[in-house]
Amino acid sequence: MGGALETRVRDLLATADIQINGPRGWDVTVHQPGFYARVLRQGSLGLGESYMDGWWDCGQLDEFFARAFAAGLDRRAARAWPARLLAVLSWLGNRQTPAKSTQVAVRHYDVGNDLFQAMLGRHMVYTTGRWDGARDLDHAQEAKLDFVCRKLELEPGMRVLDIGCGWGSFAKFAAERYGVRVDGITLSAQQLALGQSLCRGLPVQLRLEDYRDIEADPRPYDRVVSLGMFEHVGHKNYRKFFAAARRALASGGRLFLATIGSNHTVYSTDPWIERYIFPNSHLPSIQQIGSGMEDRFIPLEWHNWAGDYDRTLMAWYANFASEWERWSRQYSEPFCRMWRFYLLSCAAAFRVNQLQVWQMLLSPVN
């Protein structure tokens, strides 16, 4: 029976030019024979968990995933029961209610500011940089922040709302370079604490708040920005998000929205990502974003930086891997393997256009 399961996995991987115990960097070395049944039964969840457990290894994990995605092996994995169950639950219920939305803050963004500071670099931006002409990660992230500020045509004295402000990276940059006042909201207590420290002395106010609690202000914001937060909104809440952004924004204002995007309209995320990295997350399609913004915003510009996110994730991984022993002691070896699996699988997804990352400049409908 074990031989038949191994043969099935070998045949599947062969369609992506991946060998078991082969000589190339993207080939896999299997240490536990139970790997085959686990992957066939559980799909991507079994693949990721068995990697965390040390059941298999791969020298170039990003290249393994690039080949697997290009060959469509992820679509086969979506037929496994964990993916089917998650899809049904996401269709029937709202996995991004106010109560559930805090789970990703606690389980991911609060995992440790020291880890994110070491991984993300000087600007603490947890989304793609802009690598056109950039020398390194810090310059790529500075170029990205400046791109957003210029697209928003920021001027001194403007009031800006940052929905999902993270560690205050955009708020700090925009206040220092463009002289604007920024209010930022986040659901992560760890992000808030460090962000307030980094922005001390600047016209920046960061607070814990859900986007749904944004109220209309007698003096609305000149600009609204949201970078890498929309992935946590969920398909059942897109109308609420755009309604909240519209309430906050002046009639002649602009919204800059950056989000990872899916090539297809789906209603749930990958089961392994759901369990270990971003609980209750969802990647929108163009159709879903369009339906969410209808009658509230119109797109003025829409850019795709998938290739930039590949380079950004590889830079984050290099920073993380350079201190592997530190993180292994502080967290655990399975945690480090989990983090490697996360960063390199995502890099591969952008590399082969399995995922997109959109930068959108939007104008409100009056």
Gap between the Cα atoms of 352 and 73, Å rounded: 13
pTM: 0.95
Would you please indicate which residues are annotated as catalytic (active-site) residues?
A: 346
Amino acid 93: pLDDT: 75
Which pLDDT does position 222 carry in this prediction?
98
Domains in the chain, CATH or no CATH each: 2-79 (no CATH), 97-364 (3.40.50.150)
> 328 and 263 in contact (C-beta within 8 Å)?
no
Q: Which residue has the tokens 């930068």?
A: 359
Buried b (16+ CB within 10 A) or exposed e, 82-92: bbeebbeebee
- Share of residues in the chain with pLDDT > 90 (%): 88
pLDDT digits (tens, 9 = 90+) for 177-224: 999 999 999 999 999 999 999 999 999 999 999 999 998 777 899 999
Per-residue pLDDT of 232-287, as tens digits, reads: 999 999 999 999 999 999 999 999 999 999 999 998 889 999 999 999 999 999 99
- Which pLDDT score, from 0 to 100, does residue 2 have? 56
Task: Find, among 339, 332, 207, the residue nearest to 278 by Cα.
Answer: 339
pLDDT in tens, 59-117: 999 999 999 999 998 877 666 656 676 666 666 677 788 888 899 999 999 999 999 99
3-state secondary structure at position 298:
strand
Tokens of 211: 């986007």
pLDDT, residue 79, reads: 66
Whether residue 343 is predicted with pLDDT greater than 80 in this model: the reply is: yes
How many CA atoms lie within 13 Å of 285's alpha carbon, on the beta-carbon side?
Answer: 10
For residues 124 and 169, the answer to whether their CB atoms sit within 8 Å is yes
User: 37-46, 287-296, 344-353: lowest mean pLDDT where?
Assistant: 37-46
Give the list of residues 6+ apart from residue 231 with CB closer than 8 angstroms, or none: 259, 260, 278, 281, 282, 283, 284
**Which residue in 129, 128, 149 sits closest to 140, CA to CA?**
129
Annotate 165-231 with DSSP letters as a single string: -TTTHHHHHHHHHH--EEEEEES-HHHHHHHHHHTTTSSEEEEE--GGG----SS-EEEEEEES-GG
Which tokens hold the place of 305?
Answer: 């930086």
What is the secondary structure of 241-274 as a DSSP string? HHHHHHHHEEEEEEEEEEEEEESS--SS--HHHH
Chain-centroid distance of CA 2 in Å reads 37
What's the confidence (pLDDT) of residue 363? 98
CA neighbor of 270 nearest in space, from 34, 2, 118, 73: 73
